[in-house]
Amino acid sequence: MNIPIHRVQWEPCWRIIPTRYPEEQILEKVADPGDVDILSDLESMTNERLRQERGEAAIVAPMDWVSGPGSEFIMAPFTYRNPEGSRFGNAQRGVYYAARALPTAIEETKHHRQIFMSRTKEEPMRLEMRVLTANLNGKLHDIRGLEKKLPQVYSRISYGASQELADRLAKESSYGIAYDSVRHKGGQCVAALRPPVLSHCERERNLIFEWDGKKIAKVYELHEYSD
């Protein structure tokens, strides 16, 4: 079926990613000070984002590259692709996923974190997560309200049909797909296929996902206190 195209403008949209909070300079901890520069050079040779910036890897079309404050968060999912794939992404195509509202972003992220933690039967722990906000503005392929017509695309267990749809739309130079959340009833999500529909990405807050060994039982905000 032909997928309608509508302008979607969410200011902001919400995304949650794992964080190493507070950030540390890992190379300085594990390497002899005299080796840090050498290790940094070696890392940059295989770092896809840095290779893209140097023009060594055509991961993102030059016309779609965004820069400026917060752009590293926008570009990261396009250059560090998920080898296992996702609903609308695969090992060759990165996707920036976000939600229209924070509760939807939390439920979507909880689902995927629970799968990740269950695979290795992790013991109870606290997972520190970073909330990002960005402005979304662009003409997107819109499948909101079309679950009955596209049941396989909305499958809760298989990404085959949704990846095929994204493949087709990406070949048509689609900027992305607006869709109904599968994990949060009434929520809306976006799978941005090209970076230019996103801007002004910034860190909004940090959350704790409390893993009890079987599921993420609690989610709460991380607060820092100083004397």
Q: What is the pLDDT of residues 165-208, one digit of tens each?
A: 999 999 999 999 999 999 999 999 999 999 999 999 999 999 99
The span from the CA of 111 to the CA of 21, in Å, is 22
Q: Token pair of 96, please?
A: 């920036």
pLDDT of residue 130: 96
pLDDT of residue 202: 95
Q: How confident is the model at residue 227 (pLDDT cuts 50, 70, 90)?
A: low
pTM (global) more than 0.85: no
The three-state secondary structure class of 186 is coil
User: What are the Cα distances from residue 96, in Å, to 93, 194, 223?
Assistant: 10, 8, 27
* pLDDT tens-digit series, residues 92-151: 889 999 999 999 999 999 999 999 899 888 899 999 999 999 999 999 999 999 999 999
Which of 181, 178, 198 shows the shortest CA–CA distance to 78?
A: 198
pLDDT surpassing 80 at residue 31: no
Q: d(Cα 12, Cα 91) in Å, to the nearest integer? A: 28
For the chain, count helices (H), then strands (E).
Answer: 6, 7
The candidate with the shortest Cα–Cα distance to 17, out of 193, 211, 204, 223, is 204
Distance from C-alpha of 5 to C-alpha of 191, rounded to nearest angstrom: 14
Question: From the CB of residue 126, how many other CB atoms can be counted at a distance below 10 Å?
Answer: 12
More confident residue, 104 or 60: 104
Most confident range, picked from 18-27, 62-71, 218-227:
62-71
CA torsion 139→141→109→158, rounded to 10°?
Answer: -170
- Say how far apart CA 206 and CA 95 lie, in whole Å: 22
Please provide the average confidence, as pLDDT, over all residues in the chain. Answer: 85
55, pLDDT greater than 50: no
